[in-house]
Chains A and B, each alone.
Chain A
Amino acid sequence: MKEKKTILVVDDMVQIRNILQFSLHKEGYDVILADNGADAIKQVSGDDSLFSKTVDLIILDIMMPKMDGYEVLKKLRSSDSTKDIPVIFLTAKAQKKDLAKGIEAGANDYLVKPFKLADLFKKIKQLTNDSL
């Protein structure tokens, strides 16, 4: 059996983290969670030995306290170890300028809340080359 892909879900809303964890888990992914940007960076950078797992994809919220999604992405893209991790923005910011800002910041894809789970799964598969 192929090794499970690991997805990091970064969102300050506990309800979103929980449902994505449940759903992605059912889809056959390993899921790790972060409720803020700093924690997310720590987890993928491998600074924390507890979470030394490689992350295959990140689902990232934009509006979060302390460090927003754009900044998290900027930090990820500026480090060699994390610059290639696919990132999907998942956000309630629905204005065109927000979408443009997200893509400009280097996001691979974008989903506006409320979203269809099927759309999310499709995007994840595309970005992880998963044939599941």
Chain B
Amino acid sequence: MKIEPIEKDIFFLRKTISDLTEEMDLLRMLHDMSKQLLSKFELNEITAILLNIIKEIINYNSCALYLYNKDSNSYKVAEVRGISENKLKQYKLDERIISWAFKEGRWAQAFFSEHPNPKSDELVYILPLQSVKKNLGFLLTFTDPEKDAFTPANIKLLAFIATQAGTALENQDLYSELNYSKEYINNILESINGGLITIDMMDKITQINKNATAMLGLPSGDIVGSRYKDVFTDIVVKMIDNEKKKALKDGFTSEVLFEYTISENLIIPLGINSSLLLDGAGNRNGIIIVLRNMAASKELERIRQLDELKNEFVSNVSHELRTPLSIIKSYVEVMLEQVDPDDHQTRKEFLTVINTETDRLSDLVSDLLDISRIEADRFDIELNSISISDIIESVLPKLETFDNNHNLIVDIPSGLPDLLADKDKMVQVFINLLTNALKFSPDGGKVFIRAEIKKDKLKCDVSDQGIGIPEKDINRIFEKFYRVDNSDKYEISGTGLGLPIVNHIIASHGGEISVKSHLDKGSTFTILLPFDRN
């Protein structure tokens, strides 16, 4: 074995150590550079760092960074150093060089088909920036030839930097796409005409849009990440509990309606439904809850119903007018054509019918006038001191002509204090109520009218043993034009004006009317009226 002199070995060792140190410096530098590059997700930060690093390495006079632009499908200037964009435009870059640089994936010296300054001896290089999949852009650098920037070590460094920059740019691209998608989805969630809440399987709120916050009257503030049980009111928690239970069982829930009280005088009708959230693999991820403010659709529904009511009303009124008219006309025709002029008995009988039917017609017309006066707020009453017995006495004869198949039982004690009332209007009230009681009772049914003192008021009941009022209709029978639809069982005519007028008359006397009813058992209308204080 040959032994080398120690001096030589020392020289060799020194060189090795120096090389290793350089290598280590290089590695450290590379590490720092890539860390810097990859730590940024904003495009301008990445390009600035890239250009700084390259300045450090090759000390260019000027440079220009071109990045691929999706929209124009071309490379556009993204950043320049030491050269103006206008001047840059005067350079006509040979595209074949760029293609070659991309294809080879390394530095290339650029040539220009036209050069603004042919005497310039600057070296122009192209550094392609690529990711694994695509060409992202390139860097043009202008350097002095004497600086000898392109040493093998520098070229190695630059190649590495180009790869890192490519990765950083691609990351940035993905990141901005991700950001854009996130923003896009957020915009959808916020713009959607409804409230949206998502919770995960641990009951944590993962998303809630402004509409949901507003609908539930929640204080603004970030509640994403909180458990819904900790931040929602009891009633909302209960509602979500229910939805969650059903959604976990069936995968979704059908919309249910409930009146949600936000504050003392703000109640909104909410429609709520939910479905199970699944991830790509089909695993349960949470629940999505959708809230709809039904106030708008309720209003539409109300208008539609009103329209329907009006149509029905016109048809009902037409029927109600035709019935007495046809009776009158038939009796008159028969009297003119067929009744013996000397048959006074028959003539009198017929005239009585005609008279009654004329009254019925005129009552109907009064009802129509009354309702239009009520509408126009011109329904006047004339108050006088009058007893309930007087009122009922005036009512009974009018009922006799209407009906004699029922048993009308009047129970009004004598000596009740007087009322301060409009007699005609009160008569109208009782005719309406009693006519209804008779109309909606089977033949032979009992109809009661009772009066008594209750505290400082007169309480008067009109009750029957008739068909009763379905529960769903009972709150609506005082609405004008509203008629209980029982045409599947009975064809009972009417205009739907009687009870609204009664209601209005009682209210304008400072009284109250209420109703209790059992289907097929009968109804009781109860009136409370103040006594005349004088």
A contacts, CB < 8 Å to B: 13, 15-16, 18-20, 22-23, 26, 62-66, 68, 92-95, 112-117
Contact = CB atoms under 8 A, between A and B. Distances in A.
A37 to B, nearest CB: 10
Contact of B327 (A15, A22, A26, A65): A15
30 contacts: A13-B323, A15-B331, A15-B353, A15-B357, A16-B327, A19-B334, A19-B350, A22-B346, A23-B334, A62-B491, A64-B491, A65-B490, A65-B492, A66-B489, A68-B487, A68-B491, A92-B322, A92-B323, A92-B326, A93-B319, A94-B322, A113-B322, A113-B325, A114-B328, A114-B329, A114-B330, A115-B326, A115-B329, A116-B329, A117-B334
A107 to B, nearest CB: 16
B326 to A, nearest CB: 3
Contacts of A112: 322
A67 to B, nearest CB: 9
Contacts of A95: 315
Interface string B308-347: 0000000100110011011111110110011000000010
B493 A19 contact: no
Given A63-B491, A64-B491, A93-B319, A117 B333 contact: yes
Contacts of A116: 329, 333
Contact of B338 (A15, A23, A115): A23
Nearest to B490: A65
B319 A63 contact: yes
B491 A114 contact: no
Interface of B: 315, 318-319, 322-323, 325-331, 333-334, 337-338, 346, 350, 353, 357, 487, 489-493
Contacts of A113: 322-323, 325-326
Contacts of A20: 330
Contact of A114 (B326, B350, B487, B489): B326
A95 B317 CA distance: 12
B327 A19 contact: yes
Given A13-B323, A22-B334, A65-B491, 6 more contacts: A15-B331, A19-B330, A19-B331, A23-B338, A112-B322, A114-B326
The 9 closest A-B pairs by CB, nearest first: A113-B326, A114-B326, A92-B322, A63-B491, A114-B329, A26-B338, A92-B319, A114-B325, A19-B330
A116 B337 CA distance: 12
Contacts of B353: 15, 18-19
B84 to A, nearest CB: 83
Chain A facing B: main interface SS:
loop
A120 to B, nearest CB: 9
A9 B330 CA distance: 14
A7 B186 CA distance: 78
Nearest to A113: B326
B330 A117 contact: yes
B30 to A, nearest CB: 89
A2 to B, nearest CB: 21
A112 B489 CA distance: 23
A106 to B, nearest CB: 19
A23 B326 contact: no
Given A16-B330, A22-B334, A114 B322 contact: yes
A54 to B, nearest CB: 26
A16 B334 CA distance: 12
B330 A23 contact: yes
Contacts of B334: 19, 22-23, 26, 117
A18 B329 CA distance: 14
A119 to B, nearest CB: 11
Contacts of B328: 114
Contacts of A22: 334, 338, 346
B491 A117 contact: no
B253 to A, nearest CB: 40
Nearest to B354: A15
Contacts of A114: 322, 325-326, 328-330
A109 to B, nearest CB: 16
Contacts of B315: 95
A69 to B, nearest CB: 8
A94 B16 CA distance: 115
Contacts of A117: 330, 333-334, 337
Nearest to B349: A18
Contact of A63 (B330, B331, B357, B493): B493
Nearest to B315: A95
A68 B488 CA distance: 9
A18 B354 CA distance: 13
